[in-house]
Each structure stands twice: as C-alpha cells, then as structure tokens.
C-alpha cells in the first residue's frame, strides 16, 4: 500500500469511526435503551481493534518512509483524536445511567400544586394544570424508590413512581399523575 493510501485510509477510518460513534451515542441519549448501550460497548471494542490495526500499519509505514513520516504521524494524531471523544461520550453515558428522567403529566381534571418528588435525588414542581407535563431529572444516589406527594383541590395525595432504582439503572419514563403510569419511552 502506498503512503497516500495509508493516509487516506487513516483519515477515512478516523472520520467514519467518529461519525458512527456519534450516531450510536446520539441515539442512546434520545432513546436510552439497553440495546443501544450494548451496541455502543460492542462498537467501542470493534472500532478500537480496527483503528489499532490501521494505526499500527501507518506507524510501520512511517518507520520505512522517512520522507512522508510527518504526514503519516499527523494521520495517526487525527485517528487518536477519537479517544478523547469516546471518553467524553462514555462520561456522559455514565452520568445518564445515574439519572432518572421522569416526565410527569397531570392526568386529573384538577390543577395540581406543590408536587414533591421524594426519594433518590428528589425534586419539586410548583404547579401542573390538567393535561400539562413537565420533565424532571432525578439523580440516583443509591438504592432508592421514587414517589410523589401533591395537593389536588387542597387535599394531599401520594403515589409511587418507581419502586426501586439504583446507580447505573437510569432511564426515561413517563408518569401520569392520577392515571395510568410508568410508560417507558
């Protein structure tokens, strides 16, 4: 393989690896499914092996081609830029796995006030009109459950949101206050 072919292969590999990783990561962020998480882990392993093979090939070529060594090592540097991008995506994913993203919808005909999210990282919603929704990010601090209490027509009400969560178990879910609950999305 020529020097230019090595450079082109390295550049294309770096670009494709970054784009595919970003698509998988973005898809996971939008729809945090366990399947996408597993695909992401498998992708990191496979892309890592492929990139290491191509990187090794370029380094070996650079040792033989002293005239183009600088260009070849620049291509290696471009390929290695995917490592901090991957680490950043992994860091965000780990943060998301320690967070419940709950969309609360008022499924009652009344205005609900003073909605307290209890357990885990807790939270608060001042008021939800009938049919109105609000999303709250609840940090998972350890083994815990999430429930709410609120005022409906001046009467204190309480209901469960999820009976058990723990670190690494973060997800998105919908909770219809006073109605059908726990629909995952």
Q: What is the pLDDT of residues 64-116, one digit of tens each?
A: 999 999 999 999 999 999 999 999 999 999 998 999 999 999 999 999 999 99
In this prediction the pTM is: 0.76
Q: Which positions ≥6 away from 9 have C-beta within 8 Å?
A: 1, 54, 57, 58
Asked if pLDDT for residue 185 goes beyond 70, the answer is no
145 vs 185 pLDDT, higher one: 145
Rounded Cα–Cα distance for residues 8 and 57 (Å): 13
**pLDDT mean over 147-175:** 92
Element (H, E) at 39: helix 34-64
Asked if pLDDT for residue 143 goes beyond 90, the answer is yes
What is the percent of the chain with per-residue pLDDT over 90, rounded to a whole number? 82
| 173: three-class secondary structure by DSSP | strand
């Amino acid at each position: 393989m020529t020097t230019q072919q090595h450079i082109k292969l390295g550049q294309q590999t770096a670009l494709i690896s970054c784009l595919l990783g970003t698509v998988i990561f973005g898809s996971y962020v939008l729809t945090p499914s366990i399947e996408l998480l597993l695909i992401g882990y498998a992708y990191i392993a496979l892309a890592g092996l492929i990139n290491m093979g191509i990187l090794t090939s370029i380094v070996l070529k650079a040792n033989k081609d002293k005239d183009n060594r600088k260009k070849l090592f620049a291509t290696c540097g471009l390929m290695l830029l995917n490592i901090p991008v991957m680490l950043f995506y992994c860091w965000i994913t780990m943060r998301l796995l320690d967070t419940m993203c709950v969309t609360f919808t008022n499924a009652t005909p009344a205005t609900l006030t003073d909605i307290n999210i209890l357990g885990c990282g807790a939270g608060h919603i001042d008021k939800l009109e009938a049919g109105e929704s609000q999303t709250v990010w609840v940090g998972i601090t350890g083994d815990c459950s999430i429930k709410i209490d609120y005022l409906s027509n001046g009467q204190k009400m309480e209901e469960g949101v999820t009976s058990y969560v723990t670190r690494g178990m973060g997800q998105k879910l919908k909770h219809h206050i006073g109605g059908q609950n726990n629909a995952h999305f």
